Amino acid sequence: MTSPKNPFAAMMEQAQEMAKAVNPALETFAADGFEKLIPTMPADWMEGMFGKGLSEDGLDAKTKLLLTLAGLTCQGAQAEVPFKLAVRHAHVAGATAQEISETIAMMGMFAGLPASTRASKLAQDVLADSTKEETGE
């Protein structure tokens, strides 16, 4: 008796075949760095959309984005692109590298060392890229 094919594997195989049919270059497409193509909102827009623009007595955009990083870290930073975007947006909203690092480190107590280590590595990569862009390297 043969075992049935894994449905997820079959779905992924079919998606790869469709991608090749649409554009042969998609066969080797990798999503690494894809988040760099997504622009970052200016700080004043973020404040208006997510910060005190909604509630004068509420949290500012920087704090909300640090809370987002905390939540994503607690999930093990599995959603790599949203995590990297949250780091970029928090940085633009005024969060320092130290504040981002402390937010991630604090979550290590709740999410565990593997989650905070992964989140720290991803954040370091994003912040290193931001530094290169700021210095024009």
Nearest-angstrom CA–CA distance, 127 and 117: 15
Percent above pLDDT 90 for the chain: 40
Residue type for position 121:
K
Lowest mean pLDDT among 9-13, 94-98, 120-124: 9-13
pTM: 0.67
* pLDDT averaged over every residue in the chain: 83
pLDDT digits (tens, 9 = 90+) for 87-116: 999 999 999 999 999 999 999 999 999 999
Nearest-angstrom CA–CA distance, 120 and 117: 5
pLDDT value, residue 137: 64
pLDDT digits (tens, 9 = 90+) for 22-46: 877 766 666 666 666 676 777 777 7
Structural domains of the chain ordered from first start: 1-30 (no CATH), 32-135 (1.20.1290.10)
**How many Cβ atoms from other residues are within 10 Å of residue 40's Cβ?**
15
Q: Are 126 and 87 in contact (CB under 8 A)?
A: yes
pLDDT category at 59 given cuts 50, 70, 90 is confident
Residue 2 has pLDDT above 70, yes or no: no
